[in-house]
Structure 1
Amino acid sequence: MAKAKDSFYFQNFLESIRVSKMAADKLQDIIKNYNHSVIEEDVAAIHEIEHMGDSKKHEMTREIVKAFITPIDRDDIVKISNCIDNVTDSIEDIIINLYTWNIKELRQDVVPFAELISSCCDAAEGLLGELHDYKKSKKIMDHIIELNRLEEKGDDLYIQDIRKLSIENADPYTVMAWREIYRSFETVCDCCEDLADAVESIIIANT
């Protein structure tokens, strides 16, 4: 069990991934109620959430700089913090892509992709909730396995969606735009798996 003075680090991880979850929830809302006329407002809203994530990351950096001893290796703390930040950033990138490619109507196969991203963030929250007690936790490896499974599902969705896009569309602009958008969805799943890999490497190195 982490010492009381170490709780800041693990709490910061949890608060940071909850920002990612907030971004994932906002993404789902935008996707399920897509309105091209308010996409600029959606970009601003998701950026505000991303800024909250940046603030949590800066809090962590300030704490590490002044800390004499940390509960896990400093490099590992920085790596996990960066992984979480990448999750939030990559969710924001999806909305930015919808804006920059001027997408007026969504392809409906992004709906399950957005739901998958929420599932990834839920699993990541569960994982980081166990990190403070990683040497004794009986659940932490289950969350790692689940994140790996979800990432594989993201790969499958990406392949299916790209194939369907290529079959149905002759317009090169549409194909280019949606390839980029699908890739941005898959990237979120990859970032969540990167987080799982970072935690797993800590477990292996310290047990």
Structure 2
Amino acid sequence: MSTAIDGNDSQNRHALLWFIACIGVLAIQVITQHLMGRIWICDCGYVKLFEPVVKSSGNSQHIADWYTPSHIIHGFLFYGLSHLLLRGKPLSAKLFLAMVIESAWEIAENTPMIINRYRSATISLDYFGDSILNSTMDTLAMVAGFIFAARMPVWLTVTIAIAFELFTGWLIRDNLTLNVLMLVWPLDAVREWQAGI
């Protein structure tokens, strides 16, 4: 019996270490963005729970916006990836992998190269990068999606992902799929549709 208890204690310690490592990754993301000169909050001087206007200077500056569902879907996808790559590993180790990927993207997304790519290849002409607050909340939205996918049936996770994509595609003419497409392989027809031309 003591062997089983010792085994559980060891698993709990490992899970705690992975969780601490996840917090460390988020801290590195925040510190790196600060050193890159990113602003902490919207330069408007206040914080909103949700920014409803996509083509505005407040987009990607506050706690949430219409791109938050894309980050939740990141969590769904990263859970699937980590489940394939880290079979038999604890959930906290899988979350660590997801955090590394998401944080790396959040840092890359706010480099001049990617910001300029968004501005030249997509309809995001007013995009100047995320505030540190928004970027941090994007990562936490990914964590929420990851945990949801880990706990819920696959069919429900896939259904919600499709619903998010369809809803944001209809509402703001953008979503994760279109965002990736236009960043990697911009199409004039899609750009014109997104611009409402």
| TM bucket normalised to smaller | 0.3 to 0.5
State the TM-score, normalizing by the size of structure 1.
0.34
State the TM-score, normalizing by the size of structure 2.
0.36
> RCO (CA 8 Å, sep 6+): is it higher in 1 or 2?
1
Higher helix share: 1
